[in-house]
Structures are given as structure tokens and as C-alpha cells.
């Protein structure tokens, strides 16, 4: 199965099994807006809980807030979003399709990188066990030529974006001979800037109403509450404030399912530090966040760091954590050293002092900030794409199964309780078991269809444990527990179930391995 096919199947599966629906579907949907179904919301909540606890519970000096989506419009002037939160857009005159100019170039670079990987794969096949990949990459003329090409284009792209050189960006698209994927032509318009913020009116009388924005990031709600939290929480630098909440961006091109949405959710943490110490903390958070990702056990080689070629207006260092999605390595989280840009500007625009008195140095200063910012929806997509598998089944009768190997801590349903038949007191016994377990774990009861079919249904939604109650259970209080990943079955005492399940799904053991 190609990665493209896998992605299509994943989208269909997400809908069929109640994870993700197109918003307003009966009205043919709304561009790049999605709703989460009964399992999607559980997965999302579990991701949020794992992130929140890893920040707030594991760090004495990190606390959370929940600020409003509507904020004073001057905030977005101070943050630079009114002036600079733009993406460069370009239209193809023949297909009338609109693209993000920088993304067109990035996709072009990705194609060159694909060629490099193909060349390496050819070498591996040719030389077999004797293949020295590092040497091949360093010496093969075709590889070297493509690497240089990709680097030159990437450098030009970074320069044009940094200089806001829109003509230069168009020229780069022409020089790379990039064609519109729909029309196949190079008939491009000029590149224009487009502000990504949604705006609306606040106030009942239109003449008095003021223009406000839907927040494009949750971070500003943290900055403007910096002193409130610091004072009321008696926080000492270094300390962090987190928040999880909705953000809105009028993305030019909505693509790749929930990867790029117009309404999405972020989990952000702003860490306030002494000026001059930001690089130490930047490295600390890069490492801590990568450990969090890898703790989910989806494969360490699926992640990489990517340093930003073009720094945002507020940053002095920035890196993305990228994940190997079915459409290639793409950003899931950003770690940014934001300097004192935000707090200093809010100080200027609001006229209020936003300084911290450091009792250790007896100095007042505007703290520097290191931010970690991750999209909840991208995490959902990451988990689903890593978890989805189609397999031939040898046990439990011949056939195939689709299984979601979601890390058990994040699985929407932790266990299914299945009476073997719908009679002879088995459903009653199953309910007794479930009524005990449901206080600790999200359980599902199912008595319809054969046991094999029920296992398949649980595999498809990613339930790590199935508990089967049979006639023998009524005599010995033992049940069959069946494990999702290897389909192994064993007979265990009902009284041991909480311990067996807890070992795999307790937040405590997952958080402990983070080792903060
Ligand atoms: P991109 O380069 O993909 O547009 P970005 O660099 O603008 O992303 P940030 O502003 O750093 O993203 O936002 C932090 C995180 O929020 C991202 O890493 C991503 O996980 C998430 N995010 C940003 N934009 C979107 C979106 N349109 N849909 C879903 N998640 C998003």
C-alpha cells in the first residue's frame, strides 16, 4: 500500500468509526473545518490530559490558565499579527486555483529529496550488505547534485521570505519551473500577502461596533495574564504558564485533512526566564518535548528536528519537531525562543509595566520567553496515521483486520466487556464486571454478533483489551482477556483485571517514564 493510499484509507476509516466527520456534512461541508465524533473526542481529551499533566503536574513551576478567545484588538497590533501575520499567496490563471507560494516551493524541494532517497535505495539494493550509506551519500554524484539543488532553493526561499521579497518569490517559482498540479501550466499571477486572522464585530449597534479578531494563537492570552499569574501564584522566574484552547486561521489552502484547519486547537506553554538564559532553556525544552513525543512508542525514527531558516518577527531561535506523516515529514510542534518581544510590546501598547522583580539579583526586568506550541489536531492525525494497520489474521479464524495500535494511554475505549452469548446469565455477569471497572476505565459493552466480529470492531477503534465472559466464568470468576496488539488470550481472575489494565493505561506509569 502506498502512503497516499494509506492516507485515503485513514480518512475513510476515521469517518466510518466515529473519529472525525466533515463539519456541516449534510450541507456538503465547510472548507478545512472538522468535527470530532464519539471516539475522536476521547482521543483528543486523552492527548490533552497527557500533555497537561506532563507540564503542570510534573513541574512545580508550571501552572495553567484558560483565557478568552475574544481579546482587546490592540493585543494583535502589539503582537505583530495585524501587520505581519501574512502568508504569500499565488494563483494559477488557468486552473484558478490558489496556493501558498512558499508551500509550492517547499513541495518542490520535497520532490527533490524524494529523488535523493530513491537514489540511496537503488544503491542499497545494488550493493546489498556491503552498502555504506554515509559514504554513498557523501560521494555519489547524482545524490550530491540533488542535495546542492535542494539547498540552493531552500536558501533562496529563506532569503525571499526574510526580505519580504514577493517578486523574488515568484521568480523562484518560475526558475524552479513549478507547474500547477491541476492545470499543469506555469501561468502564475504575482505573489500577494494575505492576513490570516478572522475578524468580526463586537457590539450591538453596527456604527459603534469595534472590529475584533478570533485569536490565531493562544499564546497572547498567556502574555497579557503574565503578571496576574505571577503575582497571585507567587511564581518565581523561571516559571511557565500553559493553556489549551481553540485558535483560528484563515488558511489559504486547506489540505491534508486535519493537518491544516481553519479552526483548530493548540496546547501552548510560555516559559519565562532571565534575559540571557533563554538559550539554555530553549535547549532544555527541545529535549523535553522530543522525549514526550518519543514516550508514546511510535518509533523514534519517525521524528526529527528542523531548525527554522526564516525566523518569525519575535524569535531569536526556533525549531520544529517534525513527524513522518503519510505525506512526508511535517511540523507537529514548534519550540520558539521569543525573546522579550511580546511582553515588551504589550508594555508599550498598554502603558502598563510588565516587569518582574528578581529577589535573587534585586533587579527588575522584562523576562525572556521560551515557547512550546503543539497542535492537538495534528497530534490526533499523527497518532492515527502511526496506529493504522491492515493485517492478515491467522488466529481467530482466517481473514483480515484493520487495527488501530493507539498507545493504550490515549486509546478512547480502554476495554470492551463481551458476554460470549446473550443468555444464560452471561450479560448480567458482564454488567457486574463492567459496573466495577467503569469508574476507572472507559469501558464499552457489546453483545451483538459473533465474538470474532466483536473483536474486529474493537480492533478498528483501537481498544487495547477485550474481556470475554463465558459459562465457566459463572463458576470460577475467571474471564478471557484478549490483547489488541498480538491477539494473545489468557484466562485471568476477575479480581486481577484492574491491576492488569492499570499497568498499561495508568497515567502514573506513563508520566513516570518521562522522568522529569
Ligand atoms: P505551519 O508552518 O504548518 O503553517 P506554523 O509554523 O504556522 O505551522 P505555529 O504558528 O508554530 O505553526 O503553531 C504551532 C502549532 O499549531 C503547529 O506546530 C501546529 O501543530 C499547530 N497548527 C498551526 N496551524 C495549524 C492549522 N492551520 N491547523 C492545525 N494545526 C495547526
Which pLDDT tens digit goes with each residue over 183-205?
999 999 999 999 999 999 998 76
Q: How far is the CA of 139 from the centre of ligand 1 (A)?
A: 37
Percentage of residues in the chain having pLDDT higher than 70: 98
Does residue 36 surpass a pLDDT of 90? yes
Does residue 155 surpass a pLDDT of 80? yes
Cβ of 47 less than 6 Å from ligand 1: no
Instruction: Give the pLDDT score at 253.
Output: 80
> What angle separates helix 376-387 from helix 38-52, to the nearest 10 degrees?
110
Stretch 357-367: mean pLDDT, rounded? 96
Cα-based angle 256, 262, 264 (whole degrees, multiple of 5): 90
Cβ of 374 less than 6 Å from ligand 1: yes
Instruction: Give the pLDDT score at 162.
Output: 85
Separation CA 450–CA 396 (nearest Å): 11
- pTM here is 0.89
DSSP labels, 206-240: TTT-EEEEB-S-SHHHHHTTHHHHHHHTT--SSEE
pLDDT in tens, 163-185: 889 999 999 999 999 999 999 99
Does residue 427 surpass a pLDDT of 70? yes
Does residue 396 surpass a pLDDT of 70? no
Confidence label for 309 from pLDDT (cuts 50, 70 and 90): confident
Cα-based angle 109, 114, 118 (whole degrees, multiple of 5): 150
Instruction: Give the pLDDT score at 397.
Output: 65
Cβ of 338 less than 6 Å from ligand 1: no
H or E element in which residue 81 lies: helix 81-84
H or E element in which residue 371 lies: strand 368-375
Q: How far is the CA of 375 from the centre of ligand 1 (A)?
A: 6
Stretch 298-327: mean pLDDT, rounded? 91
Sign of the CA dihedral 40, 42, 46, 48? positive
Confidence label for 300 from pLDDT (cuts 50, 70 and 90): very high
Cβ of 378 less than 6 Å from ligand 1: yes
Percentage of residues in the chain having pLDDT higher than 90: 90
**Ligand 1 atom closest to Cα of residue 336:** 11
Instruction: Give the pLDDT score at 512.
Output: 92
Q: Are the CB atoms for 109 and 153 separated by under 8 Å?
A: yes
pLDDT in tens, 458-511: 999 999 999 999 999 999 999 999 999 999 999 999 999 999 999 999 999 999
Does residue 207 surpass a pLDDT of 80? no
Instruction: Give the pLDDT score at 516.
Output: 60
Residue nearest to atom 11 of ligand 1 (CA): 334
Q: Which domains does the chain have, with CATH numbers?
A: 3-85+196-384 (3.30.930.10), 86-193 (3.30.40.230), 401-515 (3.40.50.800)
Confidence label for 412 from pLDDT (cuts 50, 70 and 90): very high
Q: How far is the CA of 309 from the centre of ligand 1 (A)?
A: 16
Stretch 252-276: mean pLDDT, rounded? 94
Cβ of 263 less than 6 Å from ligand 1: no
Mean pLDDT of the chain: 94
Amino acid at each position: 500500500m502506498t502512503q497516499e493510499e494509506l492516507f485515503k484509507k485513514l480518512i475513510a476509516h476515521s469517518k466510518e468509526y466515529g473519529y472525525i466527520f466533515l463539519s456541516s456534512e449534510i450541507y456538503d461541508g465547510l472548507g478545512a473545518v472538522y468535527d470530532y465524533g464519539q471516539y475522536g473526542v476521547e482521543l483528543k481529551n486523552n492527548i490533552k490530559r497527557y500533555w497537561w499533566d506532563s507540564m503542570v503536574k510534573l513541574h512545580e513551576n508550571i501552572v495553567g490558565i484558560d483565557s478568552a478567545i475574544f481579546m482587546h484588538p490592540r493585543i494583535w497590533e502589539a503582537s505583530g499579527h495585524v501587520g505581519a501575520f501574512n502568508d504569500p499567496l499565488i494563483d494559477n490563471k488557468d486552473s484558478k486555483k490558489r496556493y501558498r507560494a512558499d508551500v509550492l516551493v517547499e513541495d518542490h524541494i520535497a520532490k527533490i529529496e524524494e529523488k535523493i532517497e530513491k537514489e540511496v535505495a537503488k544503491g542499497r539494493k545494488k550493493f546489498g550488505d556491503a552498502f555504506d550509506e554515509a559514504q554513498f551519500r557523501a560521494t555519489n554524484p547524482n545524490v550530491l547534485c540533488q542535495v546542492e539543488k535542494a539547498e540552493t532553493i531552500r536558501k533562496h526561499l529563506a532569503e525571499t521570505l526574510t526580505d519580504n521579497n514577493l517578486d523574488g518569490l515568484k521568480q523562484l517559482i518560475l526558475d524552479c519551473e513549478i507547474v500547477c498540479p491541476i492545470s499543469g501550466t506555469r501561468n502564475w499571477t504575482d505573489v500577494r500577502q494575505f492576513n490570516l486572522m478572522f475578524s468580526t464585530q463586537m457590539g450591538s449597534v453596527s456604527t459603534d461596533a469595534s472590529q475584533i479578531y478570533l485569536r490565531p494563537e493562544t499564546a497572547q492570552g498567556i502574555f497579557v495574564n503574565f503578571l496576574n499569574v505571577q503575582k497571585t501564584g507567587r511564581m518565581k522566574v523561571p516559571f511557565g504558564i500553559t493553556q489549551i484552547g481553540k485558535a483560528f486561521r484563515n488558511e489559504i489552502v486547506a489540505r491534508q485533512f486535519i493537518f491544516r484547519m481553519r479552526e483548530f486547537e493548540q496546547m501552548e506553554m510560555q516559559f519565562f526566564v532571565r534575559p540571557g538564559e533563554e538559550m539554555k532553556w530553549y535547549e532544555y525544552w527541545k529535549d523535553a518535548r522530543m522525549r514526550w513525543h518519543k514516550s508514546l512508542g511510535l518509533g523514534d525514527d519517525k521524528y526529527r528536528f528542523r531548525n527554522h531558516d526564516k525566523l518569525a518577527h519575535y524569535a531569536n531561535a526556533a525549531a520544529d519537531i517534525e513527524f513522518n506523516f503519510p505525506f512526508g515529514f511535517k511540523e507537529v510542534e514548534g519550540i520558539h525562543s521569543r525573546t522579550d518581544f511580546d511582553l515588551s510590546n504589550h508594555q508599550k501598547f498598554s502603558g502598563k509595566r510588565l516587569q518582574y522583580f528578581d529577589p535573587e539579583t534585586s533587579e527588575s526586568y522584562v523576562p525572556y520567553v521560551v515557547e512550546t506550541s503543539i497542535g492537538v489536531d495534528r497530534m490526533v492525525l499523527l497518532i492515527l496515521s502511526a496506529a493504522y494497520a491492515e493485517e492478515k489474521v491467522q488466529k481467530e479464524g482466517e481473514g483480515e483486520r484493520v487495527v488501530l495500535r493507539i498507545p493504550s494511554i490515549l486509546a478512547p475505549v480502554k476495554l470492551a466487556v463481551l458476554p460470549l452469548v446473550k443468555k444464560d446469565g452471561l450479560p448480567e455477569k458482564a454488567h457486574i464486571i463492567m459496573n466495577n471497572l467503569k469508574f476507572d476505565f472507559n469501558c464499552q459493552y457489546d453483545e451483538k454478533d459473533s465474538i470474532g466480529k466483536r473483536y474486529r470492531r474493537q480492533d478498528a477503534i483501537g481498544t487495547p483489551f477485550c474481556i470475554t465472559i463465558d459459562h465457566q466464568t459463572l463458576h470460577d470468576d475467571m474471564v478471557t482477556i484478549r490483547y489488541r496488539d498480538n491477539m494473545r488470550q489468557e484466562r485471568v481472575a476477575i479480581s486481577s483485571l484492574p491491576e492488569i489494565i492499570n499497568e498499561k493505561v495508568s497515567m502514573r506509569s506513563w508520566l513516570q517514564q518521562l522522568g522529569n
